[in-house]
Structure 1
Amino acid sequence: MDVLWLEQTDVKSVIDMHLTIYAVENGFREHGLKKVQMPPKSYLYFDKHNGDLRTMPSFMEGQDIAGVKIVTVHPDNREKGFPTVMAVIILNSTETGAPLAIMDGTHITDMRTGAAGGVAAKYLARPDAHVVGMVGTGGQARTQLLALSEVMDIEEVKITCRNTAHCDSFQKDMQKVINCDFTHKGSINDVCNCDVLVTTTPVREPVVRSEWICEGTHINAIGADAMGKQELDSTLLKRSRIIVDDMAQASHSGEINIPLSTGVISQSDIHAELGEVVAGTKPGRQSDEEVTIFDSTGLAVQDLVTANVVYKKAIAMGIGKMIKLF
């Protein structure tokens, strides 16, 4: 049985952010319409090595596609010369169960997570939003900003991180693709004075305080993707309209996991899932003064729809290598 093998260079050659946003928005819509089978991601924790392995299966009924992503997250990998996040995605035939493709999922993970932030800002940020604040300037920050540039007219990007060299590298790279002003800020407080705030840190103690956030701000909270992680002050969530990507998954591993477990907020404080807003079954932002938060944990359906686009384009363009698996 032949299976299509796609290396990271193959994946990068057939996907861009515009196409990824289109696919991910469609995936959220189907999820909001309850047409996706997707159990919460499962974890194996490697405490000795400060890392974990996650499995993320999904089945999109409307498009009749299924697959699974296996992804590892090791925050110390940067010092070892490896990516923090590494992933493999397998697409399967729903008719026979046979694998159709095995591909690099690392680039897809970066792109679809960025795309989710773009979709969230499209539906939740104020229409006149032009200033972006970035807390963290790693690889995920790049795709987050790239996605935002697809859905809003960015005039200024305020950045801050613990390593000045990383800030400089981020600005140098992103100025090549986004024509706007970049401003280095010495504190997170200064960065928070923006229209759309993006947090992409792996912290387990909040780094953004409620009093720093102005009315009307939209926040894409990206970093908290496992139990015990938290980037935002719990009181900030209490005063905001909270939109999650998936209620079950966010409750145990998203930005809301600690505020929920400590009783600062309850399930009733969660306004909607992003897919419900995209599908139009629940409203998004209700006023220009409202603070909105998108709690992104990363959904298997995002990987699935993006990988399916990659697979179809690779087949059409004759990209990749057919390997005999069985």
Structure 2
Amino acid sequence: MEILWLNQDDVKAALDMPSAMAAVENAFFAHGKKKVQMPPKPYLYFPKHNGDLRTMPAFLEEDDIAGVKIVNVHPENREKGLPTVMAVFVLNSTETGAPLAIMDATHLTDMRTGAAGGVAAKYLARKDSKIAGFVGGGNQAKAQLLALSENFDLECVKVYTRSIASASAFASFAGELLSCDVIISATIQDACNADIVVTTTPSREPIVKEEWISEGTHINAIGADAQGKEELDPMILKNGRVIVDDKTQAFHSGEVNVPLSSGIISEKMICCEIGEVVVGLKEGRISDSGITIFDSTGLAIQDVAAGNLVYKEALKRGFGQSLRMF
């Protein structure tokens, strides 16, 4: 039996942001209709190496597609010349269970996570949003900006990072992508003076204060994806309208996990899941002055939807290598 092997170059050639956003929005729609199987992702924690490993299986019933991703998060990898996040995705036949494709999922993860932020902002941010502020300027920040640029006519992009090199690289990327002002902010507070704020750090303590967030702001909280991580002042969550990607997963490892465990907020204060908004069962933004927060933990259904798209595109365009496994 032969399996299609797709390296990172193949995946990059097969997956652009518009198609990733369409795939992710469809996955959220299926999630909102409760037409998916997606057990909570288990974690292996490596305290000695300040990292973790996760497995993420999912099945989208109406599309009849399934697969699993294995992904790590090791913040200190940059010092070793490696990506913080690396991943492999396996797409499986639902008819036989056999693997159809094995592909690099590092780029896939960046794109589907950026796409999730873009889809969330489409439903939750003010339609007239013009300024985007980024706390963190790595690969995921770039993917988030790429997705936002699909739905918003941005006039100014701000970025704050602790690394001048990272901030400069992000600013160069933003300048090439958009015809707008690009500002390297000296403080997190300045970066948060925006219509849409995006946080993509591995912080384990709040770095964005409530008083820095203006009325009408939408926040994509991307960085908190494991137990104990948080980027936002819990009072932002307490007083804002919080939409999560998946309640079970977010309560364990999303931006809301620490405020929930400490009793600052309760589960009943979480508005809904983004899929419910996409389907039309729940309202996202209810006023121009309200503050909305999207708590993104990253869902396996996003990987399956995007991975299946890559597989189909690769077959159509002749990408990858066929490998005999069984």
Asked if Structure 1 and Structure 2 have the same fold, meaning a TM-score greater than 0.5 normalized by the shorter chain, the answer is: yes
Instruction: Count matched residues.
Output: 326
- Aligned residue identity for 2:308: N
Say whether the 8 Å CA contact 2:38–2:301 is kept in structure 1.
yes
State the match for 2:173 in structure 1. 173
Partners of 2:39 and 2:180 in 1: CA distance: 40
Task: State the match for 2:117 in structure 1.
Answer: 117
| Residue number in structure 1 paired with 2:232 | 232
Find the counterpart in structure 2 of residue 74 from structure 1.
74
2:49 counterpart residue number:
49
1:146-185 equivalences under 5 Å are: 146-185=146-185
TM-superposed CA distance for 1:224, in Å, is 0.2
Give the match for residue 128 of structure 1.
Answer: 128
How many Å separate the matches in 1 of 2:78 and 2:97? 36
Q: Are 1:2 and 2:2 counterparts?
A: yes
Q: What displacement does 1:244 show?
A: 0.1
Aligned residue type for 1:141 = A
Cα distance in 2 for residues equivalent to 1:95 and 1:159? 47
How far, CA to CA, are the matches of 1:79 and 1:307 in structure 2? 29
Structure-2 separation of matches of 1:193 and 1:176: 23
What's the counterpart of residue 308 of structure 2?
Answer: 308
Return the offset for 1:165: 1.9
1:97 maps to 97
Q: Does residue 11 of the first structure (1) align with residue 18 of the second (2)?
A: no
Task: Measure the CA separation in 1 of the matches of 2:178 and 2:221.
Answer: 22
Identify the range of structure 1 (225-234 vs 165-174) with the bigger mean alpha-carbon deviation.
Answer: 165-174
Larger mean CA deviation between 241-250 and 158-167 belongs to 158-167
Report 1:198-217 matches (<5 A): 198-217=198-217
The runs of at least 4 consecutive aligned structure 1 residues that moved more than 2 Å come to: none
1:257 equivalent in alignment to 2:271: no
Give CA-to-partner distance per residue, 1:43-77, whole Å, 9 cap, x none.
00011111110000000000000000000111000
> Secondary structure at 1:198's aligned position in 2?
strand
Q: Contact 2:218/2:292 (CA < 8 Å) preserved in 1?
A: yes
Q: Deviations over 1:297-322 (max 9, x none)?
A: 00000000000000001011111111
User: How far apart are the structure 1 equivalents of 2:141 and 2:173?
Assistant: 11
Listed as ranges, the gaps of 5+ residues in structure 1 are none
Q: Secondary structure at the match of 2:167?
A: helix
Counterpart AA for 1:242: V
Judge conservation of contact 2:21–2:116 (CA < 8 Å) in 1: yes
Task: Please report the RMSD computed on the Cα atoms of aligned residues, expressed in angstroms.
Answer: 0.6
Q: Which amino acid aligns with 1:214?
A: S
Give the match for residue 295 of structure 1. Answer: 295
| 1:176 to partner: Cα distance | 1.3
Is the CA contact 2:157–2:174 (under 8 Å) kept in the aligned structure 1?
A: no
Question: Which range moves more in the overlay, 159-168 or 209-218?
Answer: 159-168
**Other structure's SS at 2:144 match:** helix
Q: What TM-score results when the alignment is normalised by the length of structure 2? A: 0.99
Determine helix, strand or coil for the equivalent of 1:120.
helix
Aligned counterparts of 2:163 and 2:322: Cα–Cα separation in 1: 43
- Work out the CA distance in 1 between the residues paired with 2:165 and 2:95: 51
CA-CA distance at 1:159 after TM superposition: 1.0
Is there any run of 5+ residues in structure 2 with no aligned partner, and where? none
Deviations 1:95-133 (A, max 9, x none): 100000000000000000000000000000011111000
Q: Secondary structure at the match of 1:96?
A: coil
Partner Cα distance (1:26, 1:179) in 2: 30
Cα distance in 2, alignment partners of residues 20 and 81 from structure 1 = 27
Q: CA deviation at 1:173?
A: 2.0
Q: Describe the SS at the equivalent of 1:231.
A: strand
TM-score of the superposition, structure 1-length normalised? Answer: 0.99
Which deviates the most, 181-190 or 290-299?
A: 181-190
The match for 2:37 is 37
